[in-house]
Structure 1
Amino acid sequence: MGKRQNAPAGEAMSELEKLAEQAIAAAGGDVMVALLNVLARNNNLERELALSRAAVSNGYSRGWHKARVQ
């Protein structure tokens, strides 16, 4: 995923490029701040997912996440 992907024919930008542009605009045009904001949000989401995995049994989640190894 390291390479920039072209948008499909007929589209000016891919959806990910639009989201990236929005993130940069929200950061006042500073790409580093936009990246830090995205990484911080991703970190928070990963933490929430870890908490939900701990709270929900493997059976209830129908195997969506792996059972905890003790």
Structure 2
Amino acid sequence: MPEAVSFPFSPSYELACDRLIAMCNGDPRSTIKALILANEYLETELSELRAKAVSLGAVVRRSRSRDDAA
């Protein structure tokens, strides 16, 4: 049987949980769905930022190569 994962206690986490549950009218299923949706949004944002970082890195490398050649 897998061991239980323990998370660090933080009053701000407790408050955030209470607020989200209240925003979902106390419905645990709606609360979980809201968290999944927020997580998917953040994963999409992260993927886009990583793609931009890779693209910018390529631009920087190309411009440095041109500067070195000059």
Is the TM value for this pair above 0.5?
yes
- Supply the RMSD in Å over aligned alpha carbons: 2.3
Letter of the aligned partner of 1:39 in structure 2?
I
SS at match of 2:26: coil
CA distance, structure 2, for counterparts of residue 35 and residue 50 of structure 1: 22
**Aligned residue number for residue 5 of structure 2:** 2
TM-score, L = length of structure 1: 0.61
* 1:26 alignment counterpart: 23
TM-score of the superposition, structure 2-length normalised?
0.61
Q: Where in structure 1 do 4 or more consecutive aligned residues deviate above 6 Å?
A: none
Amino acid at match of 1:52: L
- Find the structure with the greater CA-based Rg: 2
- Structure 2: 5+ residue stretches without partners: 58-70
Q: Matches of 1:55 and 1:27 in 2, distance apart?
A: 34
Structure 1 residue 55 displacement after superposition: 1.1
Instruction: Give the gaps of 5 or more residues in structure 1.
Output: 8-12, 60-70
Deviation at 1:2, TM superposition (A): 3.2
SS for the counterpart of 1:52 is: helix
Find the counterpart in structure 2 of residue 36 from structure 1: 33
